[in-house]
A and B are shown apart, each in its own frame.
Chain A
Amino acid sequence: MTTTSTASNPYLKDPDAQLMLRVREGDEAAYAQLVATYQDRLIALLTNLVGDRTTAEDVAQEVFLRVYRARHGYEANAKFSTWLFSIAHNLASNTRRAKGRRKESQLVSIESSGPQASPQAQMVPEKSALMPSRVMAKVELMEKVQAAMETLNDRQRMALLLHKFEGMNYIDIGAAMEMTPQAVKSLLSRARDQLRIALEEYAK
């Protein structure tokens, strides 16, 4: 195994990349540390991508499993988080596509069995008559925001969440989504504009 200095490879400065290199050498504790660092972030992101927490956890688990399986060939040629979220993006897209196909085939049974809570509504706390009005207003506003997010396509949603939740810049978002920074700029511009149109009446 050849070692390169951080001068020649800036990604070696990334502490998570260092951890992953230890995982490559068989350090399981290092991997547990990575899981602990990223699990909440991943589940938060995925919940808002795939629509429900249970599916988000399943996808998150699959992400961690894939990263672990790829450990022998790991090279620190990007930020660890970029790589992780790139896998998350792919899996989330596949999951949403599969869900969309299942939804179509289940449409008739849903219509005949009566209204059911949408996946987004499952994330919303049940409204109660005892709930303070300001809390209810907040819950209702959250529903509006979730509905607005649903008007975006998968890529727009992912880019927006990476920017908002992870504070990633356009270069890092591009690396995670296999896009140029310029393409990310256009994508986010369209996404934010659409969000503005969907939410402006609630933003006053």
Chain B
Amino acid sequence: MDKLKRVSVEHRDNFVAYLDGELSPEEAKNLERVLADSPVARKDVELLVRTYDMLDLLPRPQATVEFTQKTMATIKLSDLKPDVTQTVWYRRLHLSIIAMAVAGVLAVTGLLAYAGTSRWAPTEDDLLLKDLQVIKNLDDYSQVGQHEFLKRLQGQPILLEQIGEEVRNAHGR
């Protein structure tokens, strides 16, 4: 049964740190007790060691002579040509450009919005244009309206007399 004893996640997470010597003495002792009780855990730890050691197979190319010369030459060149991006004026210019770009985008957006609304939303002039024919003949239409009114008034003598008296009184005042 001991062989099948499960190792907790917390202990498993400590395997690598144990191998790397990064556990406290107490933690290391606890883990050693766990490993002593579990052959499966010991096998896992052994595999962790072996696969880690396989990293020694990874290539470790060395710098060429040209690399060193080129690096020092680049450094000397950077001394002659100072890095303008690190200067105060450059940074201020950079910020100004960003601010102008933002303002430009906002302006363009505003213009587009204005153009869009003026295209689709009818103005007062558009409404007037629509009624242009009516407006052109408004005097005639109002004349027609007046004629009709006068015709009807002729058939009302009492009303005519009352209106006439009011007009005379208004002029008399």
Residues of A within 8 A of B (CB): 28, 31-32, 35-36, 39-40, 43-44, 47-48, 53, 56-57, 60-61, 64-65, 68-69, 123, 138, 141-142, 145-146, 148-149, 160, 163-165, 169-170, 181, 185-186, 188-189, 192-193, 195-196, 198-200, 202-203
Q: Are A145 and B63 interface neighbours, CB within 8 A?
A: no
* Interface segment, one of B68-76, B109-117, B141-149, B161-169: B68-76
Which residues of A sit under 8 angstroms from B20, Cβ to Cβ? 163, 169-170, 188
In the complex the two chains form, is A35's CB within 8 Å of B16's CB? no
Residues of B within 8 A of A (CB): 13-17, 20, 22, 44, 47-48, 50-52, 54-55, 57-64, 67-68, 70-72, 74-76, 78, 83, 86
> Given the interface contacts A65-B78, A196-B51, does A40 sit within 8 Å of B63 by beta carbon?
yes
B residues within 8 A CB of A188? 16-17, 20
Given A40-B62, A138-B57, the answer on whether A195 and B52 have CB atoms closer than 8 Å is: yes
Q: Once the chains bind, are B67 and A61 in contact (CB under 8 Å)?
A: yes
Q: Is there contact, CB below 8 Å, between A141 and B57?
A: yes
Instruction: Name 14 interchain pairs, CB-CB below 8 A, sorted by A.
Output: A47-B61, A61-B67, A65-B71, A68-B78, A123-B61, A145-B54, A186-B13, A188-B16, A188-B20, A192-B51, A199-B51, A199-B54, A203-B50, A203-B51
